Each structure stands twice: as C-alpha cells, then as structure tokens.
Structure 1
Amino acid sequence: MDFNNKVVVITGASSGIGASAAVLFARQSAKVVLVGRNEENLNKVAAQCETARGIRPLVVRAELDTDADVEAIVSKAIEEFGAINVLVNNAGVGVCGSVLDGVGPYDKVMATNVRAVYLLTSLAAPHLIKTKGNIVNVSSVAAFKPIKDADYLPYCVSKAALDQFTKCVALEMAQHGVRVNSVNPGGTRTPFAENAGFTKAQVEELYKARDKNYPLGKMVESEEVADLIVYLASDRARSITGGVHVIDNGESLM
C-alpha cells in the first residue's frame, strides 16, 4: 500500500489507535495531519512519523467540540498540503453515566463522538470529492450491544449513531466516488479507559478480565486497528464502502 503524495487527516492522533494509524500512514509515505488536544503528545507522534519517511506532519491542536477548531483543521490542512485524500475520524470520548444522570453525559459524548464527526466530514467532503478520497470512522462494538462492565450508555448510543452516519454518508458520497467505512474495535489496549475516569488499578483488572474472557483470549492492540484503517483507506479496498468492520477477538459473539 502506497500513500505517496496523499494527505491523511487523523483526529485523536496523540495516543492509542490514532497515533498508531498516523505512524503507519507515514511509513506508507503519506502526508499526515495530526489532530488532538495534547500538543506535547502530538509532537512526539509527529517525530515518529517524520522518522519513518522524512515527511514532516502538520500538527493541529484542536478541541473537537469547538466549531472554530474543527473548521481550522480543514483550512490548515489545505493551506499546508493543498488537498485532503483521507479523513480518519478517530477521536472519541467515553463518559460513564446512566439514564438517571440526566443529559449532561449524553451531551458531552455526542458533541465529540457524533457532532464533531458530522461537522468535520461536511467541511472535508468537497476536498475529498476533488481527490476521490475516502473516510474511515472509528466506531466500536459498543454500537451493537451494551457494555456490561461499565455504565457507558451515552457512549454506546453515540457509536450506534456513528455507524448509521457512516452508512448514510457512504450512500450519499458514492456518486462522487468517495468511499466511507467504519472500523469497530472491541476492547483495545489504549489510554481510553483511564481518560474515561477509571483508575490505573481498575484498568488493569478490566484488562485481565477481558484477556481471560474474550473468545480469542486477548485484547486488541492499537496497531492491529491501525492496520485495518490503513487497508480500508487504500486502493486495495476500492470496492468497499458503507461497511462496518469488526475487530474484537470475538467479543461481539458473547
């Protein structure tokens, strides 16, 4: 797979799946736009990307629940590289909350996991049409079933909405030659759980339980999800659109 002279915008690129995808795209000669909130971590990922093929990434610090920041992602990418070939909507938040907690947790999760994706996609779409590019949304198996070991109702709802968004946009954009797909990981070894409010000790116990209980006896690694993202964004997947692609060690079978 070769992404020479192709511009790839990745949100949530400062750690986890986004960081792994950024480095893998860079190894395939892509011009990468790294988007995230933690500028220090973004710069560390940028250094890894530049080491891969000598192509300096563009770092964009952005709060995705702020419209002006989302708009700046596209404008800065076009100003720096002149095009957008691939959009990876990877950034997401997980907030513990139940229906008894009111709409606060729901509003917080939907602002990043759905609304920001909708806005960024709409802004990037004209540029993707010009390049006959594609979009990969990073969703979750939580779109299909509740998460039993945590109160993740708002998160599950947001990912179900994201999957439907993927399918609707895929149908709309097909006439323009733009593909849209979703990658749906199961439990993945990333900073996600800690960022959602779990302690390190709780995360360790959660990982141990998942390693034991998942059908394949292990969790997904971020590099594995990155492999799937890069494949779907490549010309090898030129006939794949509107797909929801599960990578979960059999978790969704349970």
Structure 2
Amino acid sequence: MNFDFTGKVVLVTGASAGIGESTALLFAALGAKLSLVGRNEGKLRAVAAACHKLRGLQPLPIVADLGTDEGVEKTAKETLDHFGRLDVLVNNAAVGCRTTIQQLDMKAFDEVFRIDVRGVYHLTGLLVPALIESKGNIVNISSVAATMVSVGSLPYPMAKAALDHFTRNVALELAPKGVRVNSVSPGVTVSEFVTRVTNQSEEQYREWLAQMSKNVPMGEPCLGDDIAKMVVHIASEHSRLVTGAIIEVDGGLRFRGIGNALTDQ
C-alpha cells in the first residue's frame, strides 16, 4: 500500500516534539508541503530542517501559542497565505497537568481546556472553508485516557473526551461537504509529554515506562512513528470513507486500565 501526499498541504500542530514531530517527518517523507506549529522555536525549526532534508521541500514553521486567539488566528492566516490551500489538518497540540478534584487547580484546568479543546475548536473552524474547498480531512490526536478512568490528571481525560465528541459531531456536519474528520487515540507513547507534566528525570521516566508497559497486553509502549503511521493512513485516500472514527493505537492498554498515571502525547 503506497501513500503519496505530493502536492498536498498538511498542517501539524504541536510539531516540535513527540507525536507531532514523528507525524511531520512522515508526511515530509511522503512529499507533503508542511505547515508546522509549535511554541518552542528552536525545536520547531530543527524539526522543519529535518523535514526539508527528506524531500527538499521547505516547511513553514509557525511559532504560536494555540491557547490564545492570536496564536490560532496567526496559524490559520499564515498557512493559507503561504500555501493558498489546506488538505489535511492534524490537531495534535496538547498539554496535561497533575491535579485532582480535591486539589482544585482552576488555573491548570483552564490551560488544558484552552489548548486541548478551545484551540482545536477555534483553529478547525477557521480552516473549515479551505478544507471544504480541497475536500480535505481532519485528524485529531486524542488519547485512550478519554475513555478510561484514572486518578491524578483529571482535566486531561476530560478534554480528550470532549475532543472525541467534537470529532464525531464535526464529522457528521462536514460529511455532506466531502470533509472527513477522525481521531487517533494513542496509549502510552514514548515522548516528552509525561516528563513535561511531572518533571520526571530521564531515569524516573524510564522506570515509569517499564511499569506502564506491564499494563499493556502487547508488552510495550507505542513510539511516535506508530501513531504517525495511523495518522497518515487515516488522512490518505485509502481511508476515503472513514469518518467519525476514534481509532486506538495502544497495544491493547484500554482493556487493562491505566491506573494512577498519565498517558503520553
């Protein structure tokens, strides 16, 4: 099965690390023209440079905070001004936090929902006209945490549950316009997400991954490439009639439960 995105414009948010970086690199290898968004300028430009080396196409790096209206509007405008079209929107940018209802940290709650839900809602809305014009599609990066119960990161699974329902509703709304909308739902995935949220050392993170892997029926965590390959498949013509789907890539973790721990973005 061959995937070819030559001539297609793909926007990946949260592209400076983790799943977003892996997704950007795979789309670049498949010939896509890329708009890459992140908050860390140094890392974002490094990813853009790595993408450029693969096929000689220069990505458009956009340094923006998608938790702000200004950042969202900048992203949409610069992407469309530069490329004149959009074929695939990958809503990957997200944050998490360590808190519970008993700790009641409203600042953390607001930050998670501002980026993980409101930013996605706003950016998608601004880009829908371009996606209708290109008969493109949207891939949201969710999490198995959306449907599993754990203690310690309450706003994050709530936000991902909202994202899943957003996916289904927007898929129904845009289907008559020829635009598909789907979610890829990772389980434990090797990235910087957990260390950013928990301030773990590298050794602590390795221990956490080893412990979490014991809960995964297939015995190992996902890699960013595992998620990226599913994103590409769903965004391609090989999935032309797939819409409103929530597709788990988790090694079966959802069958076992995640306990008192975060999943990885």
TM class by smaller structure: over 0.9
> What amino acid sits opposite 1:115 in the alignment?
R
Match of 2:185 in 1: 184
> What amino acid sits opposite 1:104 in the alignment?
K
SS at match of 1:189: coil
Q: Which 10-residue stretch deviates more, 101-110 or 62-71? A: 101-110
Match of 2:127 in 1: 124
> Quick one: which of 32, 35, 47 aligns to 1:33?
35
Runs of 4+ that moved beyond 4 A: none
State the TM-score, normalizing by the size of structure 2. Answer: 0.93
Match of 1:2 in 2: 4
Match of 2:68 in 1: 66
Match of 1:110 in 2: 113
Q: Deviations over 1:66-98 (max 9, x none)?
A: 101111111111111110110000011011111
Give the total of aligned pairs.
252
In 2, Cα distance between equivalents of 1:20 and 1:127 = 25
CA contact (8 A) 1:3 1:29 kept: yes
In 2, Cα distance between equivalents of 1:135 and 1:106 = 25
Match of 2:218 in 1: 216
Query: What are the residue-to-residue correspondences of 1:76-87 with 2, within 5 Å?
Result: 76-87=78-89
Does residue 75 in structure 1 map to residue 98 in structure 2? no
Query: What are the residue-to-residue correspondences of 1:78-227 with 2, within 5 Å?
Result: 78-102=80-104, 103-148=106-151, 151-200=152-201, 201-227=203-229
> What amino acid sits opposite 1:96 in the alignment?
R
In 1, Cα distance between equivalents of 2:75 and 2:28 = 19
Does residue 247 in structure 1 map to residue 249 in structure 2? yes
RMSD: 0.9
In 1, Cα distance between equivalents of 2:148 and 2:107 = 22
Gaps of at least 5 residues in structure 1 are: none
> What amino acid sits opposite 1:35 in the alignment?
V
In 2, Cα distance between equivalents of 1:25 and 1:33 = 11
Shift of 1:198: 3.1
In 2, Cα distance between equivalents of 1:141 and 1:215 = 14
In 2, Cα distance between equivalents of 1:147 and 1:207 = 16
State the TM-score, normalizing by the size of structure 1. Answer: 0.97
The percentage of counterpart residues that share the same residue type is 45
